[in-house]
Amino acid sequence: MAVVTGANRGAGRGIARVLGECGATVYVTGRSRAEAAGEDLSLAETARMVSERGGTGIAFEVDHAVDAEVEVLFSKVRHEQGRLDVLVNNAWAGYSIDDGTLDEPFWQQPMLRFDRMWTVGVRSHLVATRLGLPLMLAAGRGLVVNTTLMFDLGEDVGALTGASPAILQKPPGETHAGTALFYRTAKLAINQMVLYMAKDLSWSGHDVAVVALSPGFMRTEEIMEGFGTNAQGWHTLPELKPTESTDLTGRAVAALAADEAVLEKSGQTLGTRELARQYGFTDVDGRVPPDWA
């Protein structure tokens, strides 16, 4: 029994589909959107995909910025299922503001962009976990996965120690760091939140694992639309050759859920491609894409 938030597209849809392949009942939540790259981005379509692959897909519209709506979701899960095995927190609203300022310095960007990254990203992950956790604690087990991004923290360590004077050099093609400032702050907060959730659960004697999961460069519907392609034509573009499908993230979640020793990974930030090598699964095309630098 699983709940996947932000499941109308991207990683959330891929995760829900693969859990469906495993025979799971999957509540897919979030808000439906218009199509991208020719794909229907409704929750109903994701639920249909889950059922088509062998599971039971249940679509439930939730604005994850509204706590009361999230409470209704978990009340519904408790009433209808009586248990929760896997919670995937994937809802994200960080790029919902398209006002032409994404490449501007942080002081010229709207704070609403950061607020949305924090509210439907960091805070929403915490709220859903708090509400879903009692079902897992009652069962004595469970897995919480929070999608995030894994960073090479070398430059941050260099900034603290003074060991890397090159950290302020501008990479080729970059303009400003404003959006990265907002984005990294939110994603690093998720990674730290996962660590301390895991500590609290462990110190309290509960066998519920909490991890952060970082996909690589994914072929989401919006990425393909941005490159002017779709699921049938992406492989003709050299820029998309290193990408992974959204199902790879789903296979990572499925592997973690099936791992009886998953508690050993609790508190960690994990990459999909490294997990593919550890557990022996591949992407839909039979390969494991190279690590995303």
Catalytic residues: 183
Both tokens assigned to 222: 């919006």
String of DSSP letters for 62-75:
--TT-HHHHHHHHH
Burial environment of residue 160 by CB neighbours within 10 A (0 to 12, 13 to 18, 19 or more): exposed
Task: Classify 10 in phi/psi space as left (phi over 0), alpha (psi -120 to 50) or beta.
Answer: left
**Cα–Cα distance measured from residue 267 to residue 35, given in angstroms and rounded to the nearest whole number:** 35
Q: 91: buried, middle or exposed (CB in 10 Å: 19+, 13-18, 0-12)?
A: buried
* CA distances from residue 73 to 118, 130, 131, 247 in whole angstroms, order as listed: 21, 13, 9, 25
Classify 28 as helix, strand or coil. Answer: strand
- For the record, the structure tokens of 17 come out as 């589909």
**Residues 49 and 40 sit within 8 Å (Cβ to Cβ):** no
State phi, psi for 221 to the nearest 5 degrees. -60, -40
Looking at residue 8, what DSSP letter applies?
Answer: S
Q: Convert 178-196 to b/e letters by CB count within 10 Å (16 or more is b).
A: bbeebbeebbbbbbebbbe
Look up residue 177 and give its two tokens: 């760091």
Cα–Cα dist 152/155, whole Å: 7
